[in-house]
């Protein structure tokens, strides 16, 4: 059975930061154009995967839907047991390969991976990311989390398309494997 096509969607500063400082939120610095793009992808998705820190940071904006399964990667799924809603939100400590295999068997053909850095790294290390939609905001942060956590791996991608989103110079880069 073919695994789902995995598209990583992220917003980053010019220097590769997906957060500013110690906060996991990016709503205050991501452009309106990027936010519109991101939320349109979320609305279309049937399967969204994220790490637990991204889940915690997005609690207030999260709207569940019976048409969309959200899988939260966590080392401790039991911590979130009361928040599980079958078919809408689940918590998993499966490896990316095991998770994508299970989701393929359930009939999912496409997955949005929405971060953060640790989850991104796990999927890149497993060589599972097929596409990267990366918005680059014209900002530089001295501190913050990186698009990819530290790890020993390398992945070569090919630039498919560049779209300028606004006059400030926000760019949407579409890469494929």
Instruction: Mean pLDDT check: name the lowest of 31-40, 58-67, 103-112.
Output: 58-67
Residue 95, in any domain of the structure: yes
* CATH number of the structural domain spanning residue 57: 3.40.430.10
CA-closest candidate to residue 13, choices 130, 169, 152, 158:
169
| Contacts for 38-43: CB closer than 8 Å, 24+ residues apart | 38/9, 38/11, 38/135, 41/9, 41/112, 41/133, 42/68, 42/112, 42/114
First to last CA, the chain: 20
Residue 167, in any domain of the structure: yes
Residue 172: CB atoms within 10 A of its CB come to 17
What burial letters (b/e) apply to 19-35, b meaning 16+ CB within 10 Å?
A: bbeeebebeebbbebbe
Domain span at residue 62 reads: 5-18+29-146+159-176
Calculate mean pLDDT across residues 97-118: 96
pLDDT of 150 higher than 90: no
Residue 151, in any domain of the structure: no
Residue 23, in any domain of the structure: no
pLDDT band at 72 (very low <50, low <70, confident <90, very high): very high
pLDDT band at 24 (very low <50, low <70, confident <90, very high): low
Residue 80, in any domain of the structure: yes
Q: In the structure encoding, which two tokens stand for residue 40, read together?
A: 């349109």
Instruction: Mean pLDDT check: name the lowest of 19-33, 90-104, 120-134, 144-158.
Output: 19-33
Structural domain count, the chain: 1
Distance separating alpha carbons of residues 124 and 114, to the nearest angstrom: 13
Residue 100, in any domain of the structure: yes
């Amino acid at each position: 059975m073919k695994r789902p096509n995995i598209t990583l969607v992220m917003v980053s500063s010019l220097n590769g930061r997906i957060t500013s400082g110690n906060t996991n939120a990016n709503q205050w610095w991501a452009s309106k154009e990027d936010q519109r793009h991101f939320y349109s992808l979320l609305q279309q998705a049937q399967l969204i995967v994220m790490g637990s820190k991204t889940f915690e940071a997005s609690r207030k904006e999260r709207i569940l839907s019976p048409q969309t399964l959200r899988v939260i990667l966590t080392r401790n799924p039991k911590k979130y047991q009361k928040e599980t809603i079958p078919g809408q939100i689940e918590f998993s400590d499966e490896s990316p390969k095991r998770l994508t295999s299970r989701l393929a068997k359930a009939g999912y053909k496409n997955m949005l991976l929405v971060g953060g850095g640790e989850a991104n790294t796990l999927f890149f290390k497993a060589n599972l990311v097929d596409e990267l939609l990366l918005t680059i905001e014209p900002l530089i942060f001295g501190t913050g989390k990186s698009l990819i956590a530290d790890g020993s791996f390398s992945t070569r991608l090919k630039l498919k398309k560049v779209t300028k989103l606004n006059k400030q110079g926000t760019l949407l880069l579409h890469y494929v494997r």
